[in-house]
Amino acid sequence: MTRFTHLDEAGHARMVDVTEKTPTVRSASAVASVRCSTEVVTALREGTVPKGDVLAVARIAGIAAAKKVPDLLPLAHVIGVHGVVVDLEIVDEGLDISATVRTADRTGVEMEALTAVTVAALAVVDMIKGVDKLSEIVSAKVVAKSGGRSGDWIRGTTPTPDVG
Amino acid sequence: MTRFTHLDEAGHARMVDVTEKTPTVRSASAVASVRCSTEVVTALREGTVPKGDVLAVARIAGIAAAKKVPDLLPLAHVIGVHGVVVDLEIVDEGLDISATVRTADRTGVEMEALTAVTVAALAVVDMIKGVDKLSEIVSAKVVAKSGGRSGDWIRGTTPTPDVG
Amino acid sequence: MTRFTHLDEAGHARMVDVTEKTPTVRSASAVASVRCSTEVVTALREGTVPKGDVLAVARIAGIAAAKKVPDLLPLAHVIGVHGVVVDLEIVDEGLDISATVRTADRTGVEMEALTAVTVAALAVVDMIKGVDKLSEIVSAKVVAKSGGRSGDWIRGTTPTPDVG
Amino acid sequence: MTRFTHLDEAGHARMVDVTEKTPTVRSASAVASVRCSTEVVTALREGTVPKGDVLAVARIAGIAAAKKVPDLLPLAHVIGVHGVVVDLEIVDEGLDISATVRTADRTGVEMEALTAVTVAALAVVDMIKGVDKLSEIVSAKVVAKSGGRSGDWIRGTTPTPDVG
Amino acid sequence: MTRFTHLDEAGHARMVDVTEKTPTVRSASAVASVRCSTEVVTALREGTVPKGDVLAVARIAGIAAAKKVPDLLPLAHVIGVHGVVVDLEIVDEGLDISATVRTADRTGVEMEALTAVTVAALAVVDMIKGVDKLSEIVSAKVVAKSGGRSGDWIRGTTPTPDVG
Amino acid sequence: MTRFTHLDEAGHARMVDVTEKTPTVRSASAVASVRCSTEVVTALREGTVPKGDVLAVARIAGIAAAKKVPDLLPLAHVIGVHGVVVDLEIVDEGLDISATVRTADRTGVEMEALTAVTVAALAVVDMIKGVDKLSEIVSAKVVAKSGGRSGDWIRGTTPTPDVG
């Protein structure tokens, strides 16, 4: 039976009570991909546009976004955010983004990691939209988590009975 | 030559000066797709989980996110947000999300529309991650805009020379 | 027939499109009342607690709250906030709060005025709860508005056919 | 003697030092009431307007507001928010709203619960003001708390010497 | 006679009414200086630490801060922010920061420019405090403004009768 | 060798991982100075402008700003803020501001204290700029910290080998 923990018995949205969960070190990683024109990729690679600030702006937007999760997602908890890394790599088709978020608090940080890469991707699209209005986000997903009661998990390596 | 308007001549991030642009009615639309397990899709469709609040939470998160763009994207302008619609449709593979944002201000609202669908998608993933940890965002893109100096544009119907 | 403009035809929440409305000077006023123990009222009046900062904190919280409406109310527009006054009066039963908000933008500011007095009231309760846990907000309502297409209105003086 | 803990000896506003308080499970509940026209009540009840999104928007606004307390109330602490439930009930005279907030942190969450119901009430007024400009908040108060050094408390059942 | 426009006749804080002011192009510039150890200056100059991200983080923090003025300063108006540039220069004694903010709205943007350089300075101190706990902000001031009723002004070139 | 902990090995901005640090009581103090015209100083002293609200607004802006550090500084952690005091003193040359922030969490609160005094200073400049456009911040610095692994520190009394 499918149980949506963010809804109560009457089906109303709620913030799940985690007061009884133990604060432990938890981390989660996510990735996202932006696809854009070869012109943009070339410009970034050849340095005809300054790579530094494009990637820096996206990285900082991603780090900041990890901290905004309680504000962005109505049912997310207010927890401590104790470590964030966001990386961007220029690839042939665009940019690949990854993030790892760490906390020593009561809930997992999958949404913080996923929000970090997604908002970093939005920042990339914002900066390149003037030269490539077709750029798009083609993927954003959590790829790993560790810590907490449900233990470690890596996408692709663990069969997950949750999937129908 | 590729010109990244969000960077100055020295390649430093800046908020582009739009004081000379005319306030006119502008709109933009974007779409995003979340893919999730058939179990989740079935539960939403058959009503074994209350569809209302799941979609309502995502819709409201999307509307609210359109207003948070200046806070999320470092180089985005502070402008008026004068109309937002976010729709979610349950499909066989998950949920499809669309949004249209309207303003009567100085800049286009493509990023507002794209941010709305993307954060709505994040809210969906947040709510279903307890039953489907493999759910993911597989697409998020601007699909149309109107108003402003550069005129109307619809993805797919207009050849765009910007793409290499 | 009752028409909830914040819902579309399918009954989904939306931010009403106001792009076609004209920016004009508009204002709205609201009042709220906090009831608290006579001990607190006496202390505030006789100066055995410094009246200045209690009222100043509430006033500033109210002014700041008028600016947070787009963040607090999911369907509220992002508009300019161009003038805010919040007043507090110590009365025998507690504190009476009033606020007037002004804008030269596209929507009325009734919710800004009502939010200002309500959050000022919350700030009062926050500060006195240590000495009077029974303090409560007993009223918060819009009392007047001017400007905009629907014209001027004062509570109590205008028969309003909307009320059943 | 009345002691306003939010003021120092000189009567200046401060955030009370709670570093020495113990993190323990604490909860608080609050209620608020919105009064509106029978036309609105009937529309909500008979479903001529979709009840779902009206109540869902208010509920989500209330949950989100519980997390905004440090931003809304100048002297409130930044603490973890670990569980929030907001309920709305349509009654003959309007809507009754209740909320319970839980934390495992250093301070009580009375203000979080009171802010949740109050902002949910503001969201209701915002959505119905187009059809009933006389709607108003007629009550908002904390009704119970548990946990922390001062112990459990329920409004009405405990004589409180603080009241004059 | 000194008139504090942010206070009403009774001396209470208020947001000055600017509804009657005309939206026109206005700009303001401010500068700030951070002083730090020669070790930090050398490291930044010689590239033994990557200069790019240190300056980029501060620049982006400054741009973002210009947009947060209504949230940071209780009596500031909500206006459009239509252009922001923040520059950082490494000098022998530390870093010099400058910013220019532009708007086409109803109020001057002196506080937006001053907040931009000040928060950029805070971001610098945050990043170098691990290697130089003595770093400090030694100056932050508005240096020029243009537009609006009071006209253009440049610090140092205009005698100002306001100064006693 | 200079190690900027906010940058990773590749020199990219990151939020330093503090999950392994122990939550302990920590405090930090900072000071800032605003210089303004003697006319303003006299007006504040003689009460021809109400001193209360000017200082109260700045004090409250400072307390609120201590809570906004994760939002203002991209690489700052989300931690609990458990006590804040901000004081302002009118001196011959302007105003001197001091703040102490306390937490029982995983990181020091130097930036919270420094941000509190700096934003309080910005609020002062905002309120007096109408009568003294030359007012400026002439100093903002951390002056003491206690708690945490690196122990207690007071500016001026401890030789610090970090300074070149």
> Residue B35: enclosing H or E segment and its boundaries?
strand B26-35
Q: What is the DSSP letter of F78?
A: B
pLDDT at E161 exceeding the cut of 50: no
The whole-angstrom distance between residue F79's C-alpha and the CA centroid of its chain comes to: 16
Smallest Cα distance from B85 to chain C, Å: 5
Quick: pLDDT tens for B89-114.
999 999 999 999 999 999 999 999 99
Within 8 A of F77 by CB-CB distance, chain A residues are 80-82
pLDDT of residue C151: 84
pLDDT of residue F1: 53
Q: Do D129 and C118 touch (CB under 8 A)?
A: no
Q: Mean pLDDT throughout D126-136?
A: 94
**Main-chain dihedrals φ then ψ at residue C99, nearest 5 degrees:** -145, 145
Amino acid occupying residue B116? A
Range with the poorest average pLDDT among C8-17, D113-122, E18-27: C8-17
pLDDT at C12 exceeding the cut of 70: yes
Query: Please, are residues F160 and F52 in contact by the beta-carbon 8 Å criterion?
Result: no
Within 8 A of A64 by CB-CB distance, chain F residues are 71, 74
Task: Give burial (CB, 10 Å; 0-12/13-18/19+) of A152.
Answer: exposed
Beta carbons within 8 Å of C143's beta carbon, 6+ residues apart: C29, C30, C31, C98, C154, C155, C156
Quick: pLDDT tens for F122-163.
999 999 999 999 999 999 999 999 998 888 999 997 554 443
Q: How confident is the model at residue D63 (pLDDT cuts 50, 70, 90)?
A: very high
Q: Out of E8, E126, E152, E162, pick the active-site residue.
A: E126
Q: Assign residue E156 a region (left: φ > 0; alpha: ψ between -120 and 50; beta: otherwise).
A: left
The full DSSP string for C67-109 is TTHHHHSTT--B--B-EEEEEEEEETTEEEEEEEEEESSSS--
Q: What percent of chain C is modeled with pLDDT above 90?
A: 77
The pair of structure tokens assigned to B55 is 């979609």
Closest CA to F45 of E163, D10, E2: E2
Cβ neighbours, 10 Å, residue E126: 24
Quick: pLDDT tens for A63-73.
999 999 999 99
pLDDT of residue F159: 54
B125 occurs within a structural domain? yes
DSSP β-bridge partners for residue A44? none
Q: What percent of chain D is modeled with pLDDT above 70?
A: 93
Smallest Cα distance from B32 to chain A, Å: 9
Query: Please, are residues B96 and B33 in contact by the beta-carbon 8 Å criterion?
Result: yes
Q: Do E59 and B12 touch (CB under 8 A)?
A: yes
Query: Please, are residues D65 and D157 in contact by the beta-carbon 8 Å criterion?
Result: no
Compare all CA atoms of chain D with the CA of A106 and give the residue at the minimum distance.
D82
Amino acid occupying residue F70? P
Within 8 A of F67 by CB-CB distance, chain D residues are 70-71, 78
Beta carbons within 8 Å of A157's beta carbon, 6+ residues apart: none
Within 8 A of E105 by CB-CB distance, chain C residues are 80
**Main-chain dihedrals φ then ψ at residue D66, nearest 5 degrees:** -60, -30
Beta carbons within 8 Å of A74's beta carbon, 6+ residues apart: A13, B57, B60, B61, B123, D60, D63, D64
CA distance C89 to C122: 15
Q: Do E153 and F134 touch (CB under 8 A)?
A: no
Cβ neighbours, 10 Å, residue B2: 18
Compare all CA atoms of chain A with the CA of E64 and give the residue at the minimum distance.
A61
pLDDT of residue B4: 83
pLDDT of residue A21: 95
CA distance F130 to E107: 12
Quick: pLDDT tens for A44-94.
888 777 766 889 999 999 999 999 999 999 999 999 999 999 999 999 999
The pair of structure tokens assigned to D66 is 């519980």
Within 8 A of A79 by CB-CB distance, chain F residues are 78
Q: Do B105 and E80 touch (CB under 8 A)?
A: yes
Q: Do F126 and E65 touch (CB under 8 A)?
A: no
Q: What percent helix, strand, coil does chain B show, rounded to 5?
A: 30, 30, 40
Quick: pLDDT tens for C94-111.
999 999 999 999 999 999
How far are the Cα atoms of A98, A133, A134, B160, E115 from residue B164, in angstroms, in the given order? 26, 12, 11, 9, 41
Longest dimension (CA), chain A: 57
The whole-angstrom distance between residue A76's C-alpha and the CA centroid of its chain comes to: 14
Q: Which domain holds residue E93?
A: 26-147
How far are the Cα atoms of A73, B84, B85, B153, C74 from residue B29, in angstroms, in the given order? 21, 10, 9, 10, 19
Compare all CA atoms of chain D with the CA of B57 and give the residue at the minimum distance.
D60
Q: Do A57 and E57 touch (CB under 8 A)?
A: no
Q: Do C141 and D140 touch (CB under 8 A)?
A: no
Could you tell me which residue, A4 or F109, shows the higher pLDDT?
Answer: F109
Q: Do B133 and A2 touch (CB under 8 A)?
A: no
Query: Please, are residues E131 and E44 in contact by the beta-carbon 8 Å criterion?
Result: no
> Residue E38: enclosing H or E segment and its boundaries?
helix E38-46
pLDDT at A134 exceeding the cut of 90: yes
Smallest Cα distance from A59 to chain E, Å: 10
For C64, the closest of E12, E74, E77 (CB atoms) is E74
D76 occurs within a structural domain? yes
Smallest Cα distance from B101 to chain C, Å: 9
Residues present in chain A in total: 164
Query: Please, are residues E87 and E58 in contact by the beta-carbon 8 Å criterion?
Result: no
Range with the poorest average pLDDT among B49-63, B75-89, C17-31, C55-69: B49-63
Any chain D CB within 8 A of the CB of A82?
Answer: no
Q: Do D15 and F81 touch (CB under 8 A)?
A: yes
Closest CA to C46 of D7, D2, F55: D2
Any chain C CB within 8 A of the CB of F57?
Answer: yes
pLDDT of residue E159: 54
Amino acid occupying residue E64? A
pLDDT of residue C144: 98
Q: What percent of chain F is modeled with pLDDT above 90?
A: 77
For D160, the closest of C133, C140, C153 (CB atoms) is C133
Strand runs labelled E in chain C: 26-35, 83-91, 94-103, 136-146, 153-154
Amino acid occupying residue A100? T
Any chain E CB within 8 A of the CB of F67?
Answer: no
Within 8 A of F27 by CB-CB distance, chain D residues are 19
Query: Please, are residues F138 and F33 in contact by the beta-carbon 8 Å criterion?
Result: yes
CA distance A105 to A107: 6
Q: Out of F126, F132, F152, F162, pick the active-site residue.
A: F126
Domain count, chain C: 1
CA distance D18 to F105: 12
pLDDT at E44 exceeding the cut of 50: yes
Q: How confident is the model at residue C51 (pLDDT cuts 50, 70, 90)?
A: low
Q: Mean pLDDT throughout D95-101?
A: 98
pLDDT at B163 exceeding the cut of 50: no
For D75, the closest of F25, F27, F63 (CB atoms) is F63
Any chain F CB within 8 A of the CB of A72?
Answer: no
Quick: pLDDT tens for C130-156.
999 999 999 999 999 999 888 899 999
Angle among Cα E15, E19, E24 to the nearest 5 degrees reads: 110
Q: Do E127 and F65 touch (CB under 8 A)?
A: no
Within 8 A of B122 by CB-CB distance, chain A residues are 72-73, 111, 114-115, 118
Residues present in chain F in total: 164
DSSP β-bridge partners for residue B88? B97
- To test the contact with chain D by mutation, choose from C73, C101, C112, C117 the residue with the greatest count of D C-beta atoms within 10 A, namely C73
Quick: pLDDT tens for F6-17.
888 888 999 999
How far are the Cα atoms of D34, D134, F135 from residue C156, in angstroms, in the given order? 18, 9, 48
pLDDT of residue C158: 54
3-state secondary structure of A152: coil
Beta carbons within 8 Å of B99's beta carbon, 6+ residues apart: B29, B30, B31, B62, B66, B84, B85, B86, B87, B113, B116, B117, B120
What mean pLDDT, rounded, does chain B reach?
91
Any chain B CB within 8 A of the CB of D126?
Answer: no
Could you tell me which residue, D140 or E150, shows the higher pLDDT?
Answer: D140
Q: Do A83 and F15 touch (CB under 8 A)?
A: yes
Closest CA to D104 of D120, D74, D86, D82: D82
Query: Is C126 among the catalytic positions?
Result: yes
Smallest Cα distance from C56 to chain F, Å: 7
Active centre residues of B (catalytic): 126
Smallest Cα distance from A160 to chain B, Å: 8
Any chain F CB within 8 A of the CB of E114?
Answer: yes
CA distance A158 to F124: 58
Could you tell me which residue, C135 or C7, shows the higher pLDDT?
Answer: C135
Within 8 A of E17 by CB-CB distance, chain C residues are 82-83, 102
Closest CA to A66 of F21, F19, B34, B122: B122
CA distance E163 to E156: 12
Contacting C residues, span 4-23, partner chain B, CB-CB under 8 Å: 8, 12-20
Smallest Cα distance from A151 to chain F, Å: 17
Question: Above 0.90 for ipTM, yes or no?
Answer: yes
Location of structure tokens 């007047």: C144
Angle among Cα E131, E136, E137 to the nearest 5 degrees reads: 140
DSSP β-bridge partners for residue B102? B27, B83
The whole-angstrom distance between residue A134's C-alpha and the CA centroid of its chain comes to: 22
* Side-chain-facing half-sphere of F97: CA atoms under 13 Å: 36
Compare all CA atoms of chain A with the CA of D103 and give the residue at the minimum distance.
A19
Smallest Cα distance from C135 to chain B, Å: 32
Q: Do F80 and D77 touch (CB under 8 A)?
A: yes
B95 occurs within a structural domain? yes
C59 occurs within a structural domain? yes
What mean pLDDT, rounded, does chain F reach?
92
Strand runs labelled E in A22-155: 26-35, 83-91, 94-103, 136-146, 153-154
**Beta strands C94-103; C83-91: pairing state:** antiparallel
For A64, the closest of F8, F14, F74 (CB atoms) is F74
Within 8 A of A81 by CB-CB distance, chain F residues are 15, 70, 77-78
Q: How confident is the model at residue A161 (pLDDT cuts 50, 70, 90)?
A: very low
Instruction: Please report, for the domain that includes residue B111, its CATH number.
Output: 3.30.70.640
